[in-house]
């Protein structure tokens, strides 16, 4: 069933969301030294992406770089990572007004455009909103409206009302697989409702978030990676942590996706239960005894070998960006905690410990990401999504 929201309601909702954004910006005074480092980081990131552009084959998207082999790993437009490179370029253009970055983003958007009709993936939020969502925001044009709407239609086709979720993996039709990552794809659906007045997208996002809250989370507010449902009944069949240290462990990037997703849910709905959820997740992360002093997490909070286990800068970047936003919504005491933690993380990520020198690291910005540790894939390497959320965190901090 499709519902139509009245235009006047949309105006009020938009004004409320804008007011929250303004309040978040007025609430905190950035650290002067860190702000200088942030501005420098954005400028140096722009230079680094000029170098990356020179290394990148035409028609390809960057994924990672293997320094020992001096080999860049690239992809076509179809994997989940395709939107991060043009999205990062647009954030950098917003800060620097470097038209070379803008033009490169436009070239990659053109290659990515066909994925609006891709119904085989749950990652269209990552792919199409990190890219075309930023493009529409910066260009102040409706040129990309239909692409965002079509992308949301494709994503919605994967929704099962009996389960109350959007399907993630298609490897087994008899098992309805949902991963925590999907929480970050919901922002695309909210955008489609705003553009069309069709609240069916909004309701799918809410149902998915509610079901995930019920079944993905443990009593301590850590999250499983994967929950498998019976597609006919909606019953839970199994809970796993495929990319983590164990099914019962807290895989760091999974916790980051949840924090980011429920922060967005509160922004878009103003439903306090989502703010409460985001607060619980943040407090689990920041209060964990295995969180290092610089607050860049190990690849799994329960990884073997801590303190010698690999860190995951990608999880750190996602958490940092989410905390900057969440600090604008939380009560004064927790807001101060979140903002201080985000500043610590942003300072660490901007230091030589995690940030590559210009012309190194294959053109990627951050070092020390972990892709899939259990599969021995992409360990201690740069990752394009780590770069994206780091650039977003820099941009959010600068706008304060």
Q: Could you report the per-residue pLDDT of 278-333, keeping only the tens digit for each?
A: 999 999 999 999 999 999 999 999 999 999 999 999 999 999 999 999 999 999 99
Secondary structure of the chain as H, E, C letters: CCCECCHHHHHHHHHHHHHHHHHHHHHCCCCHHHHHHHHHHHHHHHHHHHHHHHHCCCCCEEEEEECCCCEEEEECCCCCCCCHHHHHHHHHHHHHCCHHHHHHHHHHHHHHHHHHHCCCCCCHHHHHHHHHHHHHHHHCCCCCHHHHHHHHHHHHCCEECCCCEECCCCCCCCCEEEEHHHHHHHHHHHHHHHHHCECHHHHHHHHHHHHHHHHCECCCCCECCEEEECCCCCCEEEEECCCCCCCCCCEHHHHHHHHHHHHHHHHHHCCHHHHHHHHHHHHHHHCCCCCCCCCCCECECCCCCCCCCCECHHHHHHHHHHHHHHCCCCCHHHHHHHHHHHHHHHHHHCCCCCECCCCCHHHCCECCEEEECCCCEEEEECEHHHHHHHHHHHHHHHHC
Q: Is 53 domain-assigned? A: yes
pLDDT (mean) for 175-197: 98
Q: Is 135 domain-assigned? A: yes
Q: Note the pLDDT of residue 11.
A: 37
Tell me the CATH number at 20: 1.50.10.10
Which one of the listed residues 145, 170, 172, 181 is annotated catalytic? 181
Please state, for a pLDDT cut of 90, what percent of the chain lies above it.
92
Structural domain count of the chain: 1
Q: Is 52 domain-assigned? A: yes
What confidence tens digit (pLDDT) does each residue in 344-387 have? 999 999 999 999 999 999 999 999 999 999 999 999 999 999 99
Confidence of residue 29 (pLDDT cuts 50, 70, 90): confident
Q: Note the pLDDT of residue 26.
A: 57
Q: Is 129 domain-assigned? A: yes
Q: Is 2 domain-assigned? A: no
pLDDT (mean) for 49-75: 97
Report the range of poorest mean pLDDT among 26-30, 132-136, 256-260: 26-30
Is 161 an active-site residue? no
Q: Is 145 domain-assigned? A: yes
Q: Note the pLDDT of residue 250.
A: 98
Quote the pTM value: 0.94
Q: Note the pLDDT of residue 9.
A: 39
Q: Is 242 domain-assigned? A: yes
Is 181 an active-site residue? yes
pLDDT at 10 over 90: no
Q: Can you give the residue range of the structural domain that contains 388?
A: 7-399
Q: Is 206 domain-assigned? A: yes
What confidence tens digit (pLDDT) does each residue in 236-272 have? 999 999 999 999 999 999 999 999 999 999 999 999 9
């Amino acid at each position: 069933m499709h519902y139509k929201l009245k235009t006047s309601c949309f105006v009020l909702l938009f004004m409320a969301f804008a007011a929250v954004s303004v309040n978040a910006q007025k609430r905190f005074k950035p650290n002067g030294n860190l702000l200088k480092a942030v501005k420098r980081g954005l400028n140096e990131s722009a230079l680094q992406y000029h170098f990356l552009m020179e290394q990148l084959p035409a028609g390809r998207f960057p994924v990672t770089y293997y320094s020992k082999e001096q080999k860049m790993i690239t992809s076509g437009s179809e994997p989940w990572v395709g939107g991060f490179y043009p999205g990062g370029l647009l954030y950098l253009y917003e800060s620097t007004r470097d038209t070379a970055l803008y033009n490169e983003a436009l070239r990659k958007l053109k290659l990515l455009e066909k994925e609006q009709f891709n119904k085989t993936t749950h990652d269209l939020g990552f792919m199409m909103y990190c890219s075309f969502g930023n493009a529409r925001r910066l260009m102040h044009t409706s040129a990309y409206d239909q692409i965002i709407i079509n992308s949301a239609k494709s994503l919605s086709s994967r929704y099962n009302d009996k389960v109350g979720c959007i399907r993630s993996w298609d490897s087994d039709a008899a098992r309805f697989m949902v991963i925590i990552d999907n929480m970050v794809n919901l922002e695309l659906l909210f955008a489609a409702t705003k553009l069309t007045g069709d609240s069916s997208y909004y309701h799918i996002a809410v149902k998915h978030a509610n079901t995930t809250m019920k079944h993905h989370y443990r009593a301590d507010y850590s999250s499983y990676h994967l929950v498998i449902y019976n597609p006919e009944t909606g019953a839970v069949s199994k809970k796993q942590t495929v990319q983590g240290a164990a099914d019962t462990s807290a895989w760091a990037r999974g916790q980051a996706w949840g924090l980011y997703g429920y922060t967005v849910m509160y922004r878009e709905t103003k439903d306090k239960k989502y703010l409460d959820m985001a607060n619980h997740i943040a407090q689990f992360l920041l209060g964990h005894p295995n969180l290092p002093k610089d607050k860049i997490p190990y690849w799994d909070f329960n990884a073997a070998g801590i303190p010698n286990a690999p860190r995951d800068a990608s999880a750190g970047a996602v958490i940092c960006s989410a905390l900057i936003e969440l600090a604008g919504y939380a009560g004064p005491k927790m807001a101060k905690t979140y903002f201080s933690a985000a500043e610590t993380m942003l300072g660490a990520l901007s230091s030589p410990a995690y940030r590559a020198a210009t012309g190194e690291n294959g053109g990627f910005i951050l070092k020390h990401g972990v892709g899939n540790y259990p599969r021995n894939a992409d360990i201690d390497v740069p990752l394009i999504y780590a770069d994206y959320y780091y650039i977003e965190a820099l941009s959010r901090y600068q706008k304060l």
